[in-house]
Amino acid sequence: MDASEGISDMKIDHSGTRLFALCTDNSVHIRYILDLTATARRYTDPGFNASSFTFKISISYDDQFLLTGSNDNHVYAWDIDGDTTNAHIFQGHPNTVTSVSWHKSRNDQFASRKMMISILGYGKLDKINTDYLY
């Protein structure tokens, strides 16, 4: 990560071995806790834009998936051990998605929040449930 860029959110995985940093250069960096000096993996996507300090990330309970919102009104999910340059994209928000959260015991459910109060609940990763939750 370039020193001129910033970090908007950080999470440690459930095993306590990896640090995930959502950076304002529109990427998520993984660093191993035992060696924070080098990026182990860097996740990006051509449409992903999280260039401000308002975005949050979430890691699934089983450390399999990484999730974040974007300025383009979408939610981006990466398989942590999979492709780092093409995320699975969830659509449905009318505005910027700033917050995301995985279900505490299932990796096929998560919620996301846009900047304007309403929350979308999603079902399985291959199907979107567009019902609003309040």
Fold that domain 7-133 belongs to in CATH = Methylamine Dehydrogenase; Chain H (2.130.10)
- Return the CA Rg of the chain: 14
Per-residue pLDDT of the chain (134 residues; tens, 9 = 90+): 444 479 999 999 999 999 999 999 999 999 999 998 888 999 999 999 998 888 999 999 999 999 999 988 889 999 999 999 999 998 877 788 888 888 889 888 888 877 555 445 555 544 334 343 32
CA separation for the pair 30, 89 (Å, rounded) = 20
CA-nearest of 118, 109, 116, 14 to 67 is: 109
What is the rounded distance in angstroms from the CA atom of residue 21 to the CA atom of residue 32? 11
Q: Count how many Cα atoms sit within 13 Å of the Cα of residue 7 in the half-sphere of its side chain.
A: 11
Amino acid at site 123:
G
Distance (Å, whole) CA 50 – CA 34? 27
For the chain, which residues make up each domain, given as ranges?
7-133
Q: What pLDDT does 8 receive?
A: 92
Which H helix or E strand runs over 121? Answer: strand 119-122
